[in-house]
Amino acid sequence: MSQTVSFTAMKDGTKEDYELLEKLEKPFLALTADRVLEELRRAGDATLEGYKITRLEHGLQSGTRALRDGADIDWVVGALLHDVGDGLAPQNHDKMSAEVIRPFVRWEVAWTVEHHGIFQTLYFGHHYGWDRNARDRYRDHPLFDTCAAFCEHWDQSSFDPGYVSEPMETFEPMVREVFSRKAYDPTVIRENEITGLPGQLARA
């Protein structure tokens, strides 16, 4: 019989209860990478109507461009997974995707993924009567140029059915490595440190 806690309301839990939960949670946490990869694969069966490629292929193209530009593992995984939240949160997928990776990557990567949605409107917002320069509210942010370059080089250009991407197998070990890190490890997060995109890619 499986072990369970003694309480029915969390405020009544004992130290032993919460130690048990901590122990039982570890195998679940260890499978985070599997769940993320499965969500990414699921995107291969669906696309937003009208696009020439699936959401999976968009992620693979973005990750491939980052990889071929010489990006490090945090940026490659960030590019690969920047839309992973789209299936459940299409209206705020950028924020959801950022929260998926935030505990395991540098803060600059998570910030860029979190804000890429508003930066992307530069390319299409005017067609809907939106402010295509809405990103300018972040003009003074130290990662403005980084996010602009991320969108220009790796996101907005990755809807091409003729582009030959690396397969999932190329990225799976990287995803597993990143998600095996200790969550919120300050030596990983490196708060407020900016390394930027590789080769100082030109700003959009």
In this structure, of 20-29, 31-40, 106-115, 195-204, the range with the lowest mean pLDDT score is 195-204
* Residue length of the chain: 204
Q: How confident is the model at residue 200 (pLDDT cuts 50, 70, 90)?
A: low
Residue-wise pLDDT for 42-92, tens only, equals 988 766 678 999 999 999 999 999 999 999 999 999 999 999 999 888 899
Query: Which class for 73: exposed (0-12), middle (13-18), buried (19 or more C-beta within 10 A)?
Result: middle
Which residue do the tokens 């990750």 mark? Answer: 63
- What pLDDT does 196 receive? 86
Considering the domain boundaries, does residue 3 fall inside one?
no
Which residue do the tokens 């920047």 mark? Answer: 82
Domain CATH for 101: 1.10.3210.10
Identity of the residue numbered 29: L
Q: Mean pLDDT, the chain, as a whole number?
A: 94
Give me the domain span that covers residue 103.
12-200
Pair of tokens at residue 61: 């193209």
CB of 118 closer than 8 Å to CB of 135: yes
Pair of tokens at residue 11: 């405020």
Identity of the residue numbered 100: V
CA–CA separation, 111 and 97 (whole Å) = 10
Q: In this structure, how many other beta carbons lie within 10 angstroms of the beta carbon of residue 140?
A: 7
Considering the domain boundaries, does residue 85 fall inside one?
yes
Considering the domain boundaries, does residue 6 fall inside one?
no
Q: How confident is the model at residue 198 (pLDDT cuts 50, 70, 90)?
A: confident
Q: How many domains does the chain have?
A: 1
**pLDDT score of 1 more than 60:** no
Considering the domain boundaries, does residue 4 fall inside one?
no
Minimal CA–CA distance to 96: which of 77, 115, 124? 115
Considering the domain boundaries, does residue 76 fall inside one?
yes
Considering the domain boundaries, does residue 64 fall inside one?
yes
- What pLDDT does 47 receive? 62
Considering the domain boundaries, does residue 1 fall inside one?
no
Three-class SS state of 46: coil
CB of 156 closer than 8 Å to CB of 120: yes
Considering the domain boundaries, does residue 181 fall inside one?
yes
- What pLDDT does 87 receive? 86
Q: How confident is the model at residue 204 (pLDDT cuts 50, 70, 90)?
A: very low
Residue-wise pLDDT for 9-53, tens only, equals 999 999 999 999 999 999 999 999 999 999 999 988 766 678 999
- What pLDDT does 202 receive? 52
CB of 165 closer than 8 Å to CB of 117: no
CB of 101 closer than 8 Å to CB of 123: no
Q: At what angle do helices 73-80 and 55-68 cross, to 10 degrees?
A: 160
Identity of the residue numbered 53: I
Give exposure, 15-24, as e/b (b: 16+ Cβ within 10 Å). Answer: eeeeebeeee
